Structure 1
Amino acid sequence: MLVVDKLTRRFGANTAVDSASFSVDRPMMIGIIGASGAGKSTFLRMMNRLTDASEGVLRFEGRDVLTLKGRDKRRWQSNCAMIFQQFNLVPRMDVVSNVLHGALARRPVIGTLFNLYPRDDIHRAIDILDRLGIAGHAAKRAEALSGGQQQRVAIARALMQDPKVILADEPIASLDPMNAQIVMEALRRIHDEDGRMVIANLHTLDTARRYCDRVIGMRLGRIVFDGTPEQLTTGVARDIYGAGADFSEDATSTEIRDPAAVARTEIRQARVSV
């Protein structure tokens, strides 16, 4: 489904992503972890074609998306929705209009200039907001919402594109633990219920373990780990982050771990070990 082969991005003498290679044979929820500057964001931006690659291949369903131009490139960007850490909403615009922006690629320019949308699109936008638990805020300005609510609006806007892939660049980095959990559960539910591929850059190991089917670790632009959440041990994490023996992942945690969630994780790990 997705083949990344020796994908590289250089900025002058600096190599942000260095010959990254991996493949995905079915829709999965994938977490990419690594220290700041490891190349995580650059990789997602290349995949969405916000940044050009210096070399390599990135093939989705048999088509090299790095070669797409014009309308084909825009169509790919519609199929590969991007969610950003800082939400990228229009603050003074109401929530439902922000969500409707996800349909811009499919609508005539003249209608969008005057903020005119078909009734079906409006109903669909409200349905998506309802699915994410924030339909009651549809008429409010985006700036009136909390950070976690704004990030769910950004997710709703991405779903409005009806993408095959959702890329999330540090989607919970600026959120408190409660909202971080709500956002990650929403992304996981979208993957489970819709069968969409979700690739998220994450900065906490427990989040990657809890929500992802597969974890990729990057260090200095290179992929240094590719495995299951159960294989992401503290020792492996030290290698990914280039940390010493005093490294403690507890200090990076933003997760609220209720007893039921802990029990589910322990049961899953026990099954794998058996």
Structure 2
Amino acid sequence: MLKIDGLSKRFGDKIAVDRVTVAVDKPAMIGIIGRSGAGKSTLLRMINRLTDATEGAIIFEGEDITALRGAARRAWQSRCAMIFQQFNLVPRMDVVSNVLHGTLNRRSTLATMFNLYPQEDIHRAIEILDRLGIAEQAAKRTEALSGGQQQRVAIARALMQNPRLILADEPIASLDPMNAQIVMDSLRRIHEEDGLLVICNLHTLDTARRYCDRVIGMRDGRVVFDGAPEMLTTATAREIYGAGEDFSEAATSTEIETLDGAEEIRLAEACV
């Protein structure tokens, strides 16, 4: 389904992604982990063609994505939806209009200028919002929503593109634990119900283990781990992150129970 073959990206003398080779045979939910600067975001941006590869190839369902130019490249970016940590929504615009922006690649310039949408697209946008549990927010300005709700609007916009592949770049990095779980539950459900390949850059090991079928670990631009989540031991994590014996998964956990427990300890200590 997806083959990444010897993919590299250089920025001057710096190698951001170094000869990455990955093969995906069928739709799955894949997590990519690694410390900041490991090359995770650059890899996703190359798959989406927001950034050109220096060398190597990306093949999706038999098509060489790295060779696409112009309209063909834009068509690929419609099929390969991207979800960002910063949401990339229009804050003063209502929620449903932000979702409808997922159809911009297939609309005329005139329709785009005058913000004209077919009735069926509007109905579909509301149906997607309802599926994500935020249909009641459709008429509100996006800036009035919580961070977790805004990320679900961004997911809804991605689904409006009718994608074959969803890329999510640190989709929960700026969210509290409760909203992080809601967003990850949504992405997992989309993978299972729609049969889509979902690739997420993640910064916490517990999230990767809980939601992903496969985990890829990157360090210094290279893939240093590729396996099932149960193979992601603490020792393996130390190798991926280049950490010592003092490495603690709890420090980056998104589990509500873990964080609440830590908060209880902090409060107990404060009361002594």
Q: Does 1:191 find its partner at 2:215?
A: no
1:72 paired with 2:72, answer yes
1:151 and 2:141 matched: no
**The residue matched to 1:58 in structure 2 has which SS?**
strand
Q: How does 1:88-107 map to 2 (within 5 A)?
A: 88-107=88-107
CA distance in 2, matches of 1:129, 1:153: 7
Alignment pair present for 1:169 and 2:169: yes
1:15 maps to 15
Match of 1:261 in 2: none
Whole-angstrom distance in 2 between the partners of 1:179 and 1:64 = 37
Instruction: Work out the CA distance in 1 between the residues paired with 2:229 and 2:166.
Output: 20
- Give the Cα separation in 2 of the matches to 1:79 and 1:22: 20
Please state how far the C-alpha of 1:257 moved relative to its aligned partner: 4.9
Q: Distance in 2 between matches of 1:55 and 1:163?
A: 26
Asked if 2 retains the 8 angstrom alpha-carbon contact of 1:205 and 1:253, the reply is yes
Instruction: Report the alpha carbon displacement of residue 254 of structure 1 after superposing the two structures with TM.
Output: 1.3
In structure 2, runs of 5+ residues without a counterpart are 259-272
What code does the residue aligned with 2:209 have?
Answer: R
Please name the residue that 2:270 is paired with: none
SS in 2 for 1:203: coil
CA offsets 1:47-79 (integer angstroms, 9 cap, x no match): 000000000011000111000011110110000
CA deviation vs aligned residue, 1:172-200 (integer Å, no higher than 9, x gap): 00000000000000000000000000000
Give 1:255 deviation, angstroms: 2.1
Distance (whole Å) between structure 2 residues aligned to residue 21 and residue 170 of structure 1: 21
Aligned position for 2:269: none
Per-residue deviation at 1:256? 2.4
| Preserved contact between residue 34 and residue 217 of structure 1 (Cα < 8 Å) | yes
Q: 1 CA distance for matches of 2:232 and 2:7?
A: 24
Question: Equivalent residue for 1:121?
Answer: 121
Q: In structure 2, what is the Cα distance between the partners aligned to 1:118 and 1:10?
A: 43
> How many angstroms does 1:14 deviate by?
0.3
Alpha-carbon distance in structure 1 between the residues aligned to 2:120 and 2:105 = 16
Residue 51 of structure 2 corresponds to residue 51 of structure 1: yes
User: Could you say what secondary structure the match of 2:93 adopts?
Assistant: coil
Identity %: 75
C-alpha displacement of 1:252: 0.5
SS in 2 for 1:209: helix
CA RMSD after TM alignment: 0.8
In the alignment, the residues of structure 2 paired with residue 8 and residue 30 of structure 1 have an alpha-carbon distance, to the nearest angstrom, of 20
| TM-score, length-scaled by structure 2 | 0.94
Distance in 2 of aligned mates of 1:13 and 1:255: 39
Match of residue 234 from structure 1 = 234
Q: What amino acid maps onto 1:234 in structure 2?
A: T
Aligned residues: 258
- Post-superposition Cα deviations, 1:202-250, rounded to whole Å, max 9, x if no partner, equal 0000000000000000000000000000000000000000000111111
**Could you tell me the TM-score, scaled by structure 1's length?**
0.93
Partner of 2:38: 38
Partner Cα separation in structure 2 for residue 74 and residue 181 of structure 1: 32
